[in-house]
A = this chain, B = another copy of it.
Amino acid sequence: MGQRVVIVGAGFGGQHAYHELAKAGYDVTLVDRHPYTTFQPLLYQVATGGLNPGDIAFPLRRFVSRSKGRTKFRRATVTGIDAENKRVLTNRGAPIEYDTLVLAQGAGPNFFNIPGAHENARTIYSRAEALQVRDLLFSGLEQMTTEPNHGQHFTVLVVGGGATGVEMAGTLAEMKSEAIPVVYPELSQDSLRVILAEMADTLLAPFEPRLQRYTLHELRKRGVDVRLGTAVKEVRPDSVDLSDGSTLGVDLVIWASGVGAHPEVSEWGVPQGKGGRIEVEPDLRVKGHRDMWAIGDCAVEPDSPLPQLAQPAMQMGTHVGKQIIAADRGEETTPFAYDDKGTMATIGRNAAVVQFPNGRTVTGFAAWALWVGVHLATLLGGRNRLQAMVNTAFRYFAWPQSATNIVGDAVAEDDSAVDPDSGRPRQPHQAE
């Protein structure tokens, strides 16, 4: 109870660990580089203009203020770990001392060293990245409206046929067929081309073949040019080389193919395994560090690696909270066991796939309704949940009129605000 616990990262894993420890009265400091936490599973909706960024963000100071205990929030980026003196070094304020450290900083994209991918492809793992994709997409469409004689197509290549790639491609296909005729009447539907490239011979590799076939059929029906068995060899600013020897002209490449560790973790002095993830013992302790734990996307137990999804992260967070309390009481820790409650992916409106661990599968509207329900219920906090519901209800009933209802955000968000490094204001653009 006298323990000071520092949790690095306030995603699903960090939040769940925080809950356990705050409830038990620990002195917890939650550290995150952003003042908010982002609901990552819906970032693709921000990237395609379906949700406002505020709809899927929750302020961490408010999150922390809900606990009665001795908890704190520190907005800072971790720059190193001084394990000997048990201190976390950050870019802001004094080092933070800990008795126990929980690493839950998540993961970033993995470009697999494919030339040009890091420089020229966009990712949607953070809110800023999702906003960038959105702005590029809508700026591209807007630009085409004033240049009738060239730039006839805006081609989006989605790389990777996992859940994120399928969701992205499916939503873009809906924009093409439903939003463009209404919102960009100057353009033809064909102005937006959506291509999905997947190296393997199926989409959604971990799912049942029936669901894979359904997904492929639905995407193609919606106008996505799905190319299976097709890897990306090189990415340039306006073209991509594919493994079939062809070169594809592209306006936007969205990289939805694999996650990896944040590069700075290699300087933290922790053991790293596959994809740079931090190697943990079965009880989720970092190997070789008795007072350090790692959970979620950033952690891997080498003998039983788990999918990098919200569900395992949340369960690991809760588990680690309980283990820290147990260890503190001198009790034995227990190994983590993942309770798979099922996996889902959405293709578009009225179309999704759900797979339960008992082998049962669901597709179509029922799966989509399930997907909507689970995601709304998991969204943090009453206000966000309500707003997402308002949004979702409107998208459902008022489509296509509201298809691009938040495109408006694009400019204001790029012509704001405070420079994050210096803390000094940027000069705003001229008043309108």
Contacts and interface: CB of A to CB of B under 8 A. Distances in A.
A54 B406 contact: yes
A86 interface: no
Contact of A394 (B93, B135, B382): B382
Contact of A53 (B109, B409, B420): B409
Contacts of A147: 93
A411 interface: yes
Given A146-B93, A416-B413, A431-B129, A390 B401 contact: no
Interface stretch (A119-127, A318-326, A359-367): A119-127
A425 interface: yes
A304 interface: no
Contacts of A145: 74
Interface in A19-50: 32-38
Interface in A108-160: 108-109, 122-123, 125-129, 131-132, 134-136, 138-139, 142-143, 145-147
Contacts of A411: 34-36, 128, 420
A183 B61 contact: yes
B430 A108 contact: yes
A183 B415 contact: no
A248 to B, nearest CB: 19
Contacts of A429: 126, 128, 420
Contacts of A66: 401
Contact of A417 (B132, B386, B387): B132
B415 A128 contact: yes
A213 interface: no
Please classify how large the interface on chain A is, using the bins under 10, 10 to 19, 20 to 34, 35 or more.
Answer: 35 or more
Provide the main secondary structure of the chain A interface.
mixed
A407 interface: yes
A109 B431 CA distance: 8
B401 A61 contact: no
Contacts of A36: 407-409, 411-412
A386 B129 CA distance: 28
Contacts of A94: 146
B136 A408 contact: no
Contacts of A65: 182-183, 185, 401
A328 interface: no
A201 interface: no
Contacts of A128: 411-412, 415-417, 428-429
Contact of A420 (B183, B408, B415): B415
22 contacts: A9-B432, A11-B432, A34-B411, A53-B54, A62-B405, A65-B183, A66-B401, A76-B146, A109-B431, A123-B431, A125-B431, A128-B412, A128-B415, A128-B416, A128-B429, A131-B417, A134-B417, A382-B398, A383-B391, A383-B398, A383-B402, A413-B417
User: What are the 4 closest A-B residue pairs judged by CB atoms, nearest first?
Assistant: A36-B408, A93-B146, A108-B431, A414-B417
